[in-house]
């Protein structure tokens, strides 16, 4: 694969949940824009949800926002996830949207299937992939499944599983400020200190480009945890439940329009 081809990877768009759908739906509008605007073909994947109508709700939302062709990929088991009908629809799509629910449903139903491979392939070909709430958690290589609320990182306070793998540079947590999740993101990052953490608030998203750089959009904040200068971590010597000492962590909060360069670990504020 040439350098030019590598640069073609589509945006990935983790949304913190509860994105505005009626009044000022800036996040969904941005996803539609990145997917081709009025010519977009969007695949909705409601696999994370236990509710029968979740996919239908998003189809209706996108239709009201001007998208004419929308697929509702009702993938509820691993047989569905290996069905060529769904891979064909994903192959035609110019935008892929994963709904909220339970991220373990995404990993256990989609993991290792032709649908998961097709999502990665389409993203590598330039198609944007968005996920809200559980859908956001599933986007990176390492997925946060659950964990304790609170500010302090503690050994064993977070559960993790393999994610979809659209990025290996970033770890994502969602409903971030609303559910007080800094401690569990710090714990997850203490196991993977080469990654950058993004805590995504509700009605907020990170728009991540093919280099792993990103900017904030929406009414809340992105909490960016930079582990690149960590000097010490006690995680290997701390008993289960014990607080983890982390020295040299850098934290930023980004608001709508602020940009973060993951290569040089710098914020460029919206002017």
Catalytic residues: 133, 175, 202
CA–CA distance, 142 with 169 (Å, rounded to integer): 10
Closest listed residue to residue 103, CA positions, set 70, 147, 61, 60: 147
Tell me the CA distances in angstroms from 5 to 1, 2, 10, 133, 255, one per residue in order.
6, 5, 11, 30, 31
* DSSP label at residue 264: T
- Please answer whether residues 130 and 15 qualify as being in contact, where contact means their C-beta atoms are separated by less than 8 angstroms: yes
Tokens of 217: 């959009």
Q: How far is the C-alpha of 52 from the C-alpha of 70, rounded, in Å?
A: 17
- Please tell me the total number of residues recorded for the chain in this structure: 271
Residue 42, both tokens = 């969007």
Cross-strand bridge partners of residue 254 = 222
């Amino acid at each position: 694969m040439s350098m030019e081809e590598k640069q073609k990877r589509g945006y990935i768009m983790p949304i913190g949940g509860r994105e505005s759908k009626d009044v000022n739906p800036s996040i969904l509008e941005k996803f539609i824009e990145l997917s081709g605007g009025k010519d977009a073909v969007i695949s909705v994947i409601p696999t994370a949800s236990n509710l029968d109508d979740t996919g239908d709700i998003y189809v209706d939302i996108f239709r009201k926002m001007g998208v004419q062709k929308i697929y509702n990929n009702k993938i509820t088991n691993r047989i569905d996830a290996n069905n060529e009908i769904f891979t064909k629809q994903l192959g035609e799509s110019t935008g892929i949207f994963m709904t909220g629910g339970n991220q373990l449903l995404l990993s256990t139903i989609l993991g290792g299937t032709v649908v998961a491979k097709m999502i990665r392939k389409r993203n590598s070909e330039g198609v944007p992939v968005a996920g809200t709430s559980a859908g956001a958690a599933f986007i990176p290589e390492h997925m946060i499944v659950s964990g304790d609320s609170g500010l302090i990182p503690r050994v064993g306070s977070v559960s993790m599983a393999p994610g979809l793998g659209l990025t290996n540079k970033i770890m994502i947590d969602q409903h971030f400020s609303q559910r007080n999740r800094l401690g569990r993101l710090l714990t997850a990052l203490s196991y993977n200190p080469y990654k950058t953490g993004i805590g995504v608030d509700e009605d907020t998203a990170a728009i991540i480009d093919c280099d792993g750089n990103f900017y904030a959009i929406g009414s809340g904040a992105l909490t960016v945890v930079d582990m690149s200068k960590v000097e010490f971590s006690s995680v290997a010597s701390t008993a289960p439940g014990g607080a983890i000492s982390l020295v040299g962590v850098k934290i930023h909060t980004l608001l709508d329009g602020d940009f973060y360069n993951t290569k040089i670990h710098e914020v460029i504020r919206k002017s």
